[in-house]
């Protein structure tokens, strides 16, 4: 089937049938297919959109271009996907908590690029931790421990890998059908039967409006349901970093402190909300209240932290970090960032805060950049907090003074102080329940 025929259909606003969509996905996975034809079809889709049927069928076709896992893990395999944020360490908190409640978490995660952090980069800051495992080991650990988090393999939805790189250079990133098919093709190929979506809204998020967040969440839920998966979604705020720690080892430390009960706050609140949906999808709880109680008991009893240590050990890491976070990589220098004025912290540019951590070496601007696991920053104030001139807004953890100055300036520019206390926004802005009901 010639790609030019598909391009002609979409450029005129027509719909592609299932066979044509399969041909598109297979062409994307074939390295012999010219980039310019794939790019033309992506642009036609960006301009004219896709129907829900087209989007779902393209997603399944993309998933089938590579390995399709069918995890046998002794229960319903569940997964969580976040659209990306800053200080978003929910996977490291909720995966062991869900596993401690009897859930089976099978998760393939990515690396960070740009202002958002990558779960795999965070886990690799734990000495010895392996994120590349044979499929049989991945499934065995998920079955025996209850949770396993690994990197995405090249055999998983190879069509998406090609299209993702082309979207980035052709101005077609901001297409909800293409975003949805990219995310969900990997999730469907990964074999999870229950999937919770965490769609971020705010200055540090991909989606900046509630309308776009809901459209993306609805589209991904529709794809999953058409593919026989149980789906749920939360729209959560990213107008400020979710946790106070931004940087790989620093975020692992905060996750451990959260599981140990030493800290509470937005990171824990969102983790419990997402984890509750995972227990519902996996049939470990009958309703949300029961699910939250189960997770809270796993937290209070220490079973969640013990499960995280068990997962770390199973994946080759030094589980002693759960008892002594000083075993994690640490930066040579800490440097405070001081407020220039009195007032109330009224607004943050969360993307700029993520970029400040990237400048220190905690993230990548290019895929080939080398991560420094020790560096990052710790915020001491949140939106709505009172601030005095000369008070520390944050502390930089760095190994390179010129980079630290760049990060310092970025961070100061990202924080806005006013004379009036602003209202605090809700963390969870909207929900799409398993039955499709929206609140």
Query: What DSSP character marks residue 369?
Result: P
Per-residue confidence (pLDDT) for residue 213, from 0 to 100: 96
| Annotated active-site residue in 64, 186, 218, 359 | 186
Q: Pick from 71, 80, 75: which is nearest to 103 by CA? A: 75
Check which CATH number belongs to the domain holding 361 and give it: 3.90.1170.30
Is 380 labeled as catalytic in the residue annotation?
no
Residues 191 and 93 in one domain: yes
Q: State residue 102's pLDDT score.
A: 98
Determine phi and psi for 283, rounding to 5 degrees: 65, 30
In a domain, 340, yes or no: yes
| CATH classification at residue 255 | 3.40.1030.10
Average pLDDT, the chain: 95
For 151-162, the pLDDT digits (tens) are 877 688 999 989
Q: Up-side HSE of residue 237: CA atoms within 13 Å toward CB?
A: 18
Write down the catalytic residue from 180, 181, 182, 271.
Answer: 182
Instruction: Say how many domains are in the chain.
Output: 3
Whole-prediction pTM? 0.94
Q: Is 187 a catalytic residue?
A: no
> Is the CB of residue 321 less than 8 Å from the CB of residue 122?
no
Do 140 and 111 fall into the same domain?
yes
Q: What percent of the chain has pLDDT over 90?
A: 88
Give domain status of residue 439, yes or no.
Answer: no
Tokens standing for 113?
């690029």
DSSP state of 427: S
pLDDT band for position 368 (50/70/90)? confident
The verdict on 130 and 270 lying in the same domain is yes
Whether 405 is in a domain gets the answer yes
- For residue 188, what pLDDT is reported? 95
Tell me, yes or no, whether 407 and 297 share the same domain: no
For residue 370, pLDDT over 90 is answered with no
Same domain, 121 and 238: yes
The reported pLDDT for the residue numbered 424 is 87
**Same domain (yes/no): 231, 259:** yes
The 10 Å Cβ neighbour count of residue 28 is 27
SS3 93: helix
Task: For residue 109, name the pLDDT band (cuts at 50, 70, 90).
Answer: confident
pLDDT at 173 over 90: no
Q: Is residue 58 part of a domain?
A: no
Residue in 80, 167, 218, 303 annotated catalytic: 167
Determine which one of 121, 160, 222, 349 is catalytic: 160
Same domain, 247 and 380: no
Confirm if 213 and 89 have CB atoms less than 8 A apart. no
Domain presence at residue 189? yes
172 shares a domain with 111: yes
Cα atoms found within 13 Å of the Cα of residue 427, Cβ hemisphere only: 16
Q: Which of 10, 64, 80, 81 is flagged as catalytic?
A: 81
**Which pLDDT score is estimated for 53?**
98
> Which residues, 6+ apart, have CB-to-CB distance to 123 below 8 Å?
92, 129, 131, 149, 252, 315, 317
Distance CA 363, CA 121 (A): 9
DSSP letter at 292 equals H
Q: Which residues contact 388 (CB under 8 A, 6 or more apart)?
A: 339, 342
In a domain, 63, yes or no: no
In this model, does residue 112 exceed pLDDT 80?
no
What are φ and ψ of residue 120, in 5° steps? -65, -40
Predicted pLDDT of residue 205: 87
The per-residue pLDDT for 207 is 87
Beta bridge partners of 245: 378
Q: What is the pLDDT of residue 113?
A: 59
Residues 73-105: tens digit of each pLDDT: 999 999 999 998 899 999 999 999 999 999 999
What pLDDT digit, counting tens, does each position of 129-140 carry?
A: 999 999 899 999
Same domain assignment for residues 118 and 12: no
125 assigned to active site: no
Convert the pLDDT of each residue in 400-432 to its tens digit.
Answer: 999 999 999 999 999 999 999 999 889 999 999
Lowest mean pLDDT among 102-111, 113-122, 344-353: 113-122
Residues 428/213, Cβ–Cβ less than 8 Å: no
Q: Say how far apart CA 5 and CA 83 lie, in whole Å.
A: 33
Q: In this predicted structure, what is the pLDDT of residue 177?
A: 96
CA torsion angle for 252, 257, 259, 260 (degrees, to 10)? Answer: 140
Domain enclosing residue 347, as ranges: 330-418
168 is annotated as an active-site residue: no
pLDDT at 155: 84
Domain assignment present for residue 67? The answer is no
Q: Are residues 235 and 338 located together in one domain of the fold? A: no
Shared-domain flag, residues 16 and 99: no
Instruction: Examine the domain organization and report whether 365 and 315 are in the same domain.
Output: no
To the query of whether residue 186 is one of the catalytic residues in this protein, the response is: yes
């Amino acid at each position: 089937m010639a790609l030019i025929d598909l391009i002609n259909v979409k450029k005129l606003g027509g719909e592609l049938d299932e066979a044509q969509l399969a041909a598109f996905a297979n062409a994307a996975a074939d390295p012999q297919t010219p980039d310019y034809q794939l790019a033309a079809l992506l642009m036609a889709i960006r301009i004219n959109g896709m129907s829900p049927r087209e989007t779902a069928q393209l997603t399944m076709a993309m998933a089938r271009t590579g390995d399709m896992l069918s995890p046998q893990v002794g229960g319903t395999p569940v997964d969580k996907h976040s659209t990306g944020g800053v200080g978003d360490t929910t996977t490291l908190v909720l995966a062991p908590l869900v596993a401690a409640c009897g859930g089976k978490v099978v998760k393939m995660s990515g690396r960070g690029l740009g202002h958002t952090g990558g779960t795999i980069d965070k886990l690799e800051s734990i000495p010895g931790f392996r994120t590349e495992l044979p499929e049989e080991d991945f499934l065995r650990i998920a079955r025996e421990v209850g949770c396993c988090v690994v990197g995405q393999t090249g055999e998983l939805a190879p069509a998406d890998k090609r299209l993702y790189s082309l979207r980035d250079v052709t101005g077609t990133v901001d297409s909800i059908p293409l975003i949805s098919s990219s995310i969900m093709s990997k999730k469907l190929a990964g074999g999870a039967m229950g999937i919770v979506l965490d769609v971020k809204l705010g200055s540090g998020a991909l989606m900046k409006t509630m309308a776009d967040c809901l459209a993306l969440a609805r589209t991904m839920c529709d794809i999953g349901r058409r593919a026989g998966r149980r789906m749920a979604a939360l729209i959560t705020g990213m107008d400020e970093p979710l946790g106070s720690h931004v940087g790989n080892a620093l975020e692992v430390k905060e996750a451990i402190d959260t599981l140990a009960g030493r800290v509470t706050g937005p990171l824990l609140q969102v983790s419990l909300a997402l984890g509750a949906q995972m227990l519902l999808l996996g049939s470990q709880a009958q309703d949300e209240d029961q699910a939250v109680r189960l997770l809270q008991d796993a937290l209070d009893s220490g079973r969640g932290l013990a499960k995280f240590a068990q997962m770390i050990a199973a994946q080759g890491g030094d589980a002693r970090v759960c008892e002594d976070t000083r075993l994690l990589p640490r930066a040579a220098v800490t440097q405070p960032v001081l407020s220039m004025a009195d007032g109330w912290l009224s607004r943050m540019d969360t993307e700029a805060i993520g970029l400040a951590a990237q400048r220190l070496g905690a993230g990548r601007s290019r895929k080939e950049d080398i991560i420094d696991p020790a560096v990052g920053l710790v915020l001491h104030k949140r939106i709505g907090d009172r601030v005095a001139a000369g008070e520390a807004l944050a502390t930089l953890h760095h190994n390179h003074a010129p980079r630290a100055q760049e990060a310092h300036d970025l961070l100061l520019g990202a924080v806005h102080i006013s004379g009036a206390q602003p209202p605090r926004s809700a963390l969870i802005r909207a929900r799409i329940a398993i039955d499709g009901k929206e609140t």
